[in-house]
Amino acid sequence: MTSPHRTRVAVIGAGPAGLLLGHLLHRQGIDTVVLESRDRGYVERRQRAGILEQGTADVLRASGAGERMDQAGLRHDGIELRFDGGSHRVDFPTLTGGRSVMVYAQTEVVKDLIALRLETGAPLLFEAEVLAVDGIEGDAPTLRYRHEGAEHTLTCDIIVACDGFHGIGRRSVPTSALRTFERVYPYSWLGILADVPPSCDELIYAHHPRGFALHSMRTPQISRLYLQVPPDEDLAAWPDSRVWDELSTRMAVPGWTLATGPVTEKSITPMRSFVAEPMRHGRLFLAGDAAHIVPPTGAKGLNLAAADVTLLAAALTRWHRAGDTTLLDAYSATALQRVWRAEQFSYSMTTMLHTPPDQDPFDHRLQFAQLSYTASSRAASTSLAENYVGLPLPGLEELA
């Protein structure tokens, strides 16, 4: 593919946020170029979350990107909370007016969006490293990037940084123009992928004195499981047998057995919350992990990114069609309302379910009281369910 030099919207990053934004804008007739520093194989193999909120699934369907999701994805109508040797189900449709979530791996979402992008012929450049972002306070910002051994300059009207926490996008905003908020948690997640059918029909969130555990899945044949471990844990200290034994212990309830099988992937992920404000500086907009990080307990990372770019696509569409900047000017404030709601929910789920190091008896009793209330109160269960399935997604009506 030739290296383009002019476009309406330049998108940095071909993760789910950048690809979905490019797809939504293409459908509205807005020229875009998507630049990704990694190769296609890496992007399509990169393992991340696999829980899609109702709104995320809806926007994929509405944009023509949901066919394979509806064929291969797994609709889930609830989650199971396990603590103190018991099990408690939270029924999503009953508590949220029929809403649910979809289990469909991020790798598959990315594959679907890449296939659609390539089918349209719209520019998608892999192994295109952005070297500099300039002119974001003017009317014609530029990206300098390296592709196929040569450096190029891309001039555009708008730049959207969907390039993750460590990307060049947020770093291109003057530090004096950003305010950041961060919380680092005193534990990490040890995650495994295993070639074994799930031992549950819906996700299990387990609180145990030895630490949190989560049973998820990718497909009817592949399980995804997690264990709370210390933040500086050595992965070599966890042979497969130890992982399975610890998962069985932490999720144990009478009459239930955890199925085990070959582990195909194992990793440790740190836990943090992060928000950068505002999510816009001049003609540069931040979306997804470039602007915010949530701990994975609430399954919000991918969904926040999808909400950001759906909102941004609606704002850019109105600007493109009518020259109206109202939604663009409101983008940061509108997106941050949802971001902070998701941050609070993810924080509450994380602190309710994890066992902090050196937890004192008073805090343990408070934690148990919150778990018991959530399991026994319809109001508390409704709050969890509404946040888990996701708030209504803004911007969809603009993209119809």
C-alpha count within 13 angstroms, C-beta hemisphere, residue 94: 8
What's 124's DSSP letter? E
Within a 13 Å sphere around the CA of 395, how many CA atoms are in the beta-carbon half?
28
The letter for the amino acid at 273 is S
Catalytic residue list contains 76: yes
Q: Examine the residue annotation and report whether 300 is marked as an active-site residue of this protein.
A: yes
Expressed in angstroms, the distance from the first to the final Cα of the chain is 31
Catalytic residue among 147, 354, 388, 394: 388
296 as an active site residue: the answer is yes
Kind plus residue range of the DSSP H or E element containing 55: helix 54-62
Task: Give dist(CA 163, CA 166) in Å, integer.
Answer: 7
- Residue 104 designated active-site: no
Respond yes or no: is residue 186 known to be catalytic: no
How far apart CA 146 and CA 152 sit, in angstroms, is 6
Picking from 167, 214, 166, 171, the residue whose alpha carbon sits closest to that of residue 190 is 214
Contact of 15 with 164, CB cutoff 8 Å: yes
Q: Which of 16, 141, 295, 296 is catalytic?
A: 296
Of 147, 281, 300, 320, the catalytic one is 300
Which candidate in 23, 26, 76, 207 is catalytic? 76
- Return the axis-axis angle of helices 16-27 and 54-62, rounded to nearest 10°: 40
Q: Are strands 128-134 and 142-147 parallel, antiparallel or unpaired?
A: antiparallel
* Per-residue tokens: 343: 């941050």
Structure tokens belonging to residue 350: 């994380």
Encoding tokens for residue 29? Answer: 């007739």
Catalytic residue among 205, 207, 215, 394: 205
Residue 347 neighbours by CB under 8 Å, 6+ apart: 183, 273, 295
Q: Return d(Cα 173, Cα 137) in angstroms, integer.
A: 10
Contact, 136 vs 281, CB < 8 A?
Answer: yes
Catalytic site positions: 76, 205, 296, 300, 388
